[in-house]
Amino acid sequence: MTRPFVSLTTDFGLADPSVGICKGVILRIAPDAQIVDVSHAIHRQNPLEGAALLQVALPYLPTGVHVAVVDPGVGTERRPVAILTARGDHLVGPDNGLLVPGAEALGGIEACRELVDERYRLSPVSRTFHGRDIFAPAAAHLARGVALEEFGPAVDPGTLVRLELPAPRGMGGKLEATIVSLDAFGSAQLLANRADLERAIGTVEPGMRLSVEVGTTPAARCFEATWRRTYGEVTTGEALVLVDSYGRLAIAVNGGDAAQMHGLGSGQRVRLGRA
Amino acid sequence: MTRPFVSLTTDFGLADPSVGICKGVILRIAPDAQIVDVSHAIHRQNPLEGAALLQVALPYLPTGVHVAVVDPGVGTERRPVAILTARGDHLVGPDNGLLVPGAEALGGIEACRELVDERYRLSPVSRTFHGRDIFAPAAAHLARGVALEEFGPAVDPGTLVRLELPAPRGMGGKLEATIVSLDAFGSAQLLANRADLERAIGTVEPGMRLSVEVGTTPAARCFEATWRRTYGEVTTGEALVLVDSYGRLAIAVNGGDAAQMHGLGSGQRVRLGRA
Amino acid sequence: MTRPFVSLTTDFGLADPSVGICKGVILRIAPDAQIVDVSHAIHRQNPLEGAALLQVALPYLPTGVHVAVVDPGVGTERRPVAILTARGDHLVGPDNGLLVPGAEALGGIEACRELVDERYRLSPVSRTFHGRDIFAPAAAHLARGVALEEFGPAVDPGTLVRLELPAPRGMGGKLEATIVSLDAFGSAQLLANRADLERAIGTVEPGMRLSVEVGTTPAARCFEATWRRTYGEVTTGEALVLVDSYGRLAIAVNGGDAAQMHGLGSGQRVRLGRA
């Protein structure tokens, strides 16, 4: 019999024992759970970054329970929820927009419940660590087969908080898009794909030179980059724009750190045009 | 049948393969072990920080074998030990005080043995990596059911090294306490609880202003903070004092890094008073 | 029945979801796999460091499938391969030299195949993330028992790319060797062992003073260190040279960070002599 799968995505970091404690809480309730860390390095209290990450990561994971905690509102009135997706997963976390794009990437929201039943929480519930006291226990009970309806009242999916993932837009022959995250190599991922770019500036081909403008005028910085299919196609130290592993546009430097070299950061608007 | 549970708490970090190698050693002996990392970011060779962490973390973990290695004395004469707790756990590590507060949080010490039997060590035992050569194998053999008595001679619990967790004390209408750790958000955890604070300065209530004094006079720095129940109750950038997720007092900045903003560090003495 | 063992060694870091996604891909195919992280902190795109690490780490792991991805050539023409070792392990990764020293540490190469069969890859294969699209699926299919011959054409082991692990050499009464990695404590590991040192400078004994010369003349820096068996045998802050946990020579500072204090870095040549 397959072990139930549980994934964890948080802004807890790995320096303190928060993640280990959540895993302990899960395994006391569901000892056979197979737990995988997606990321604990979401920039603190940035649900948008977490939402964009879940959207691309969850389709690669087994069907199971996915806990996500990026929760500036812990201890205040936002609802704790569990969402059932069309693929059969449960997404568990705060109702602050974090979970919705991931649920849509798994086929859409089939049902949602508020996590209020005390049988499925630790007692007492602290005001500062709902990951441990509400979300981890709920995930574990879902993993061992407790029905979603047991956890609390139905939540109308239309009432769930939604984050606006900043859309790309074409303007004046350029594509403007938002940097949603930086990877370990300093590559900047944009909330836009190749089709968005080609709608704005026309067909792109390997070797084409692009201009990259970062920040708002008049303080904007500008540099050039080459459209490539992979890192190894440019010389070391050269900037490139490519379709990354998740189908999103990315700005990278072969063998270097694009974020550091060009001052790129999560949340910035970037304009791509023909050089 | 439930898989045996093993937790790991060390100062090894995750940059080199030490942690992965310990897990490999455990799984070669006990292939079904469920291993969870509590933390590998204890400040190097600071058993006091490790002991305080185990004290609050272990009660959330399943009953099992808990390995802890923060071991400035590796290769010298300190004893390697395994402790049986009243809850039924085994704590495995160096006899340098690291394990005792965690064992007490699990109901107290029932029995203790020195880890000397060569059947339950790797051979040869290196002088620099007892985590791999002594503690991981012992944990794995305990996890697969070897009786504690098999590992070596009984250790009188009264002879175990104990660390003095620096106690809070009231003085001149203030509470003086020690910062025991910083979390990923830069919040500073004190070795003191709300009752300690109220004994020193009287009842506290949400919104009350407190003075926080850090370091020793005359070079002490001072700032103000508000007593709150959770982070979201103050404006961004404002300092607060609250009861943290483990029942300890913590100094935090909502949406900011208290340690960085106010120069807080592990081991410092702090004085809290009415502002 | 024992769960199949899979280890992961990469330069992905833990900041983005790459590692979690690879684990998800593996567990969708082989739900019972026991996955262990060896390290995800190989310096980016440094296959030599990865190869040296696998060489010392793999012998401590259970027999199983070992995935390693340090792959500056992703998306270019280097072959993806799986190697069967004499111990019965499978090593999966790029044919860039990363896997060979580890395979030799596990008894040597018994067989090798190129990973081309589309049944054992994700579709489509991206140009930038073969860890997810080729190596993780291949590892999972090997873990669930698919025969190595199924994955693609035989590769003559003699045609595998080999990295030259820079050899130590004696010269003028000194031993010259290369720093291959730094551990979490700032200790520098050399690609040389005690026998190499004694061939160059004669028998060493605890307490003997050594000179350590770093970098190339005339800009070389020099400091002294003591030959010791373990860290605790010198006073805090004192430099030592010792045999580390893997049988390699290491330069360390007791209670300090040798790399920081003496400007040591991966890839540097170091000369050890009698002081």
Q: The complex's ipTM?
A: 0.91
Looking at the fold, whether B115 and B236 belong to one and the same domain comes out as no
Would residue A147 count as lying in a domain?
yes
**Contact flag A242-C23 (C-beta cutoff 8 Å):** no
Does the beta-carbon distance from B16 to C181 stay under 8 Å? yes
> What is the predicted pLDDT for the residue at A207?
93
Q: What is the pLDDT of residue B215?
A: 80
Closest CA–CA distance from residue B130 to any residue of chain C (Å): 9
The pLDDT > 70 percentage for chain C reads 99
C48 and C97 in a common domain: yes
Q: Give me the number of domains chain B comprises.
A: 2
Q: Please answer yes or no on whether A24 and B61 come within 8 Å at the CB atom.
A: yes
Using a CB–CB cut-off of 8 Å, the residues of A that contact B are: 11-21, 23-25, 27-28, 31-32, 35, 44-45, 72-76, 126-129, 132
Partner-chain contact B132 C62, CB within 8 Å: no
Of the partner residues A56, A184, A229, the one whose CB lies closest to the CB of residue C127: A229
In a mutational test of the C interface, the residue from A2, A231, A254 whose CB has the highest number of chain C CBs within 10 Å is A231
Q: Which of A27, A71, A121 to mutate to test the interface with B (most CBs of B within 10 A)?
A: A27
User: Is residue A264 in some structural domain?
Assistant: yes
C141 with C186, same domain: the answer is: no
Answer yes or no: is B164 within a domain.
no
CATH number reported for the structural domain that contains residue B205 in this entry: 2.40.30.90
Closest residue in A to C28 (Cα–Cα): A62
B&C contacts, CB < 8 Å:
97
Distance linking the first and last C-alpha atoms of chain A: 57
Distance (Å) from the alpha carbon of A153 to chain C's nearest alpha carbon = 31
Closest residue in A to B36 (Cα) is: A20
Measured CA to CA, the distance from residue A22 to residue B55 in angstroms comes to 16
C56 neighbourhood in chain B, CB within 8 Å: 17
Query: What pLDDT, on a 0 to 100 scale, did the predictor assign at position A77?
Result: 80
Cβ B21–C34 below 8 Å, yes or no?
A: no
Cβ contact (<8 Å) for A28 and B244?
no
The answer to whether residue C221 sits within a structural domain is yes
Amino acid found at A191: L
Q: Which chains touch B (3 or more CB pairs under 8 A)?
A: A, C
Q: So what's the pLDDT on residue B182? A: 87
| Domain end residue (candidates: B130, B159, B188) | B159
* Per-residue pLDDT at C225 exceeds 80: yes
Sort strands B239-243 and B221-227 into parallel, antiparallel or unpaired: parallel
A129 and A181 inside one domain? no
Nearest to C132 among A41, A60, A233 (CB): A60
What is the average per-residue pLDDT within C59-71?
Answer: 97
- In-domain check, residue C164: no
CB pairs under 8 A between A and C: 98
The shortest C-alpha distance from B131 to chain C (Å) reads: 10
> Are A61 and C31 in contact (CB < 8 Å)?
no
Shared domain check, B185 and B116: no
Distance of alpha carbon A242 from alpha carbon A238, whole angstroms:
13
Residues C206 and C233 in one domain: yes
CB contact under 8 A, A21 and B62: no
Residues C177 and C70 in one domain: no
d(CA C71, CA C128): 10
Domain match, C115 and C33 both: yes
pLDDT band for position C141 (cuts 50, 70, 90): very high
Kindly report the nearest CA distance between residue C117 and chain B, in angstroms: 30
> Per the domain annotation, does B82 fall within a domain?
yes
* Residues in chain A where the model's pLDDT stays below 50: none
Reported as half-sphere exposure (CB side, CA atoms, 13 A), residue C46 has a value of 17
Which of C2, C35, C36, C37 is the best substitution to test chain B (most B C-beta atoms within 10 A)? C36
Pick the last residue of a domain from B116, B131, B159.
Answer: B159
* Burial tier of C87 (Cβ tally within 10 Å: 0-12, 13-18, 19+): middle
Contact state of B25 with C60 under an 8 Å Cβ cutoff = yes
d(CA A140, CA A120): 9
Q: How many angstroms separate the CA of residue C172 from the nearest CA in chain A?
A: 37
Over residues A6-25, the pLDDT tens digits come to: 999 999 988 889 999 999 99
Q: At what angle do helices A136-143 and A18-29 cross, to 10 degrees?
A: 30
Cβ pair C232:B74 closer than 8 A? yes
Contacts of B27 in chain C (CB under 8 A): 5, 34, 36, 61-62
Chain C: touching chains (3 or more CB pairs < 8 Å): A, B
C→A interface, C-beta within 8 Å: 11-21, 23-25, 27-28, 31-32, 35, 44-45, 72-76, 126-129, 132
| Over residues C197-215, mean pLDDT | 94
- How far C231 CA lies from chain B's nearest CA (Å)? 7
Question: CB under 8 Å, gap of 24 or more: what pairs does A158-162 form?
Answer: A160/A81, A160/A83, A160/A95, A160/A97, A160/A99, A160/A100, A160/A109, A160/A112, A161/A78, A161/A95, A161/A96, A161/A97, A161/A100, A162/A97, A162/A100
Residues 6+ apart with CB under 8 A from C244: B128, C187, C189, C250
Instruction: Write the burial class of residue C147 (CB in 10 Å: 0-12 exposed, 13-18 middle, 19+ buried).
Output: exposed
Q: Which of C57, C230, C232 sits opposite B20 (nearest CB)?
A: C57
What parts of chain B have a pLDDT lower than 70?
1, 217-219
In a domain, A164, yes or no: no
Q: Please tell me which of the candidates B7, B53, B244 has its beta carbon nearest to residue A128.
A: B244
A250 pairs with which residues across the strands?
A: A189, A242
Instruction: Tell how far CA C153 is from the center of its chain.
Output: 27
Amino acid at C136: A
- Considering only the beta carbons, identify the residue of C16, C21, C35 that sits closest to A181: C16
Q: Which of C25, C32, C75 sits opposite A232 (nearest CB)?
A: C75
What is the Cβ-side half-sphere exposure of residue B170, based on CA atoms within 13 angstroms?
12
In a domain, A216, yes or no: yes
As a whole number of angstroms, the distance between CA B216 and CA C253 comes to 30
Radius of gyration, alpha carbons of chain A: 21
SS (H, E, C) chain A: CCCCEEEEEECCCCCCCHHHHHHHHHHHHCCCCEEEEEECCCCCCCHHHHHHHHHHHHHHCCCCEEEEECCCCCCCCCCEEEEEECCCCEEEEECCCCCHHHHHHCCCEEEEEECCCHHHCCCCCCCCCHHHHHHHHHHHHHHCCCCHHHHCCECCHHHCCCCCCCCCEEECCEEEEEEEEECCCCCEEECCCHHHHHHHHCCCCCCCEEEEEECCCCCCEEEEEEECCCHHHCCCCCEEEEECCCCCEEEEECCCCHHHHHCCCCCCEEEEEEC
Residues C173 and C269 reside in one and the same domain: yes
* Residue listed under structure tokens 């203030």: B174
Q: Which tokens belong to B226?
A: 């508000």
Same-domain status, A40 and A114: yes
Contact A44 B230 (CB under 8 A): no
On whether both C94 and C132 belong to a single domain, the answer is yes
Read off the pTM: 0.93
Interface contact flag, C129 A57, Cβ < 8 Å:
no
Residue C254 has pLDDT above 90, yes or no: no
Please, which pLDDT band fits residue C217 given cuts at 50, 70 and 90? Answer: low
Among residues C5, C31, C43, C36, the alpha carbon closest in space to that of C19 is found at C36
Angle between helix C136-143 and helix C18-29 axes, rounded to 10 deg: 30
Show which residues on chain B lie within 8 Å of chain A, measured between beta carbons: 2-3, 5, 7, 9, 14, 34, 36-41, 53, 56-57, 60-62, 181-185, 229-233, 242, 244-245, 255
Does A29 share its domain with A114? yes
Containing domain of residue C14, as a range? 5-159
d(CA B268, CA B251): 13
Chain C residues in contact with A56 (beta carbon < 8 A): 17
Mutate to test the interface with C, among B27, B45, B70, B125 (most CBs of C within 10 A): B27
The last residue of a domain, from among C134, C159, C184: C159
HSE, side-chain direction, 13 A CA sphere, residue C145:
4
Among candidates A36, A184, A229 on the partner chain, residue whose Cβ is nearest the Cβ of C16? A184
Shortest distance between the Cα of A117 and any Cα of chain C, in A, equals 30
Tokens describing residue A94 = 């705060």
Probe site for chain B from C38, C245, C248 (most B CB atoms < 10 A): C245
CATH number of the domain that residue A101 is part of: 3.40.50.10790
pLDDT tens per residue across span C156-197: 999 999 998 889 999 889 999 999 988 878 899 999 999 999
**CB–CB of A78/A52 below 8 Å?**
no
d(C-alpha A157, C-alpha C150), whole Å: 46
C129, pLDDT greater than 90: yes
CB nearest to C128's CB, from A7, A182, A242: A242
